[in-house]
Amino acid sequence: MTADALITEPALLSVLQAAAQARAQSLAILDLLEQHHQTSDNADAASLDDQLAVSQQQKILNTHVAQLRGLNRKAVLSVRATKQETTEARQEIDSLHLQLQNLYYEQRHLWGEISGCEEYEYVHTLCLR
């Protein structure tokens, strides 16, 4: 199963696309360098043209890498924001849970007081016996 099939988030898909473009550009540069190495026995003019082509391809690669870094930074900031929202929601849930526990404690205390009052023998009930 590929990553494209598992990932549906548009922001992450753009990261994958940028990474694929950077990878393809890197492979293109490697191909140019391999061709340059194979034709290095030729004249210096061909070598200068090859170096110029590699330089242009490197600029394109640097553009893709810069885009990838920007997307990575954006993803990191998004994760931080999501963690902050999750923390705030968790604190709210913890607060509500504590309030619920306090209500249960108060309920048990009141039921104990009620049963204590029901079991108490009053003076007028003792006289009736």
Question: pLDDT, tens digit, for every residue of 18-31?
Answer: 999 999 999 999 98
* Reported confidence tier of residue 122, pLDDT bands at 50, 70, 90: confident
Question: Tokens 């393809």, residue?
Answer: 24
pTM recorded for the entire structure = 0.63
User: Could you give the angle at which helices 10-38 and 44-119 cross, rounded to 10 degrees?
Assistant: 160
Rounded Cα distance, 56 and 76, in Å: 30
Token readout for 79 is 């994760």
